[in-house]
Amino acid sequence: MDTKNSHAFGYLGVFSFGMFLLGLVYQMLIGGRGFFGAALMGLIFAGIIAAIIYLFLMTSLGKDWSKVAAKSIEAKAGEVKAKVEQARAPAEADAETAPAPLKAAPVEDAAVAEVVEETVAEAAEPPTGKPATLSAPEGGTADDLKKIKGVGPKLEAVLNGMGYYHFHQIAAWNAGDVAWVDENLEGFKGRVSRDNWVAQAKELAG
């Protein structure tokens, strides 16, 4: 987690503690409760406020992922371009200085392009796209996806309808797969990354 995100969660902790103190004082002075009752109400109040702010922060931080990924890809592509230029320079120099009958053949642009394409593809990993699906559960029996935190009966039915029946399918998703499913879960967008389904599925899949 970067410094910006650390500060955000630090502010959340301080704000939550402030809400607890506010709730405590309010319940003791206005609500007429004893210390322990007021402390309990203060905790409940702070917890509700903290949960709301946490969800907002997670949503905001999730949006930063695509920007970070784009910068990483751009930097990687720049490194690859520099390496290709360094590799081509000696060959072109030799071609210029060679005797006419033995002049070296020019560097094949197609080969260079292939190297660049493969390297940039690796830098862009994970690709964004629909992860692999199944037409039916393996062995005729689907896993109980409701064991994943945040997945209820309705959401399990949605996942089954999309072709996801097993923990090992979800455990194999990369960041690009998660982004695609997050965007295409009608009525439940963002739930995959917010509840960290992949980590949970890996534990459940054994």
Q: Is the pLDDT of residue 157 over 70?
A: yes
In whole angstroms, how far apart are CA 98 and each of 91, 107, 109, 112, 178?
Answer: 11, 14, 20, 22, 54
Instruction: Examine the pLDDT at 30 and tell me if it is beyond 50.
Output: yes
Tell me the average pLDDT of the chain: 75
The sign of the dihedral angle between the CA atoms of 66, 68, 74, 79 is negative
Q: Can you read off the two tokens belonging to residue 156?
A: 């399990």
Domain ranges of the chain: 3-64, 69-123, 138-205
**Unique residue bearing structure tokens 């309990």:** 40
Q: 59 falls in which pLDDT band (50, 70, 90)? A: low
The string of DSSP letters for 93-156 reads HHHHHS-GGGPPPPP-HHHHHHHHHHHHHHHTPSPPSPPP--SS-GGG----GGGSTT--HHHH
d(CA 96, CA 87): 15
Domain 138-205 in this protein, CATH class: mainly alpha
Express each pLDDT in 79-114 by its tens digit: 777 777 777 766 566 556 655 554 444 545 665 566
> What's the predicted TM-score (pTM) here?
0.41
* Rounded average pLDDT over 166-181: 94
- Pairwise pLDDT comparison (150 vs 35), residue with the higher score: 150
Spatial separation of the C-alpha atoms in residues 186 and 193, rounded to whole Å: 15
CA distance 133 to 53: 35
CB–CB of 90/121 below 8 Å? Answer: no
**Residue 190, Ramachandran bin (φ over 0: left; ψ between -120 and 50: alpha; else beta):** left
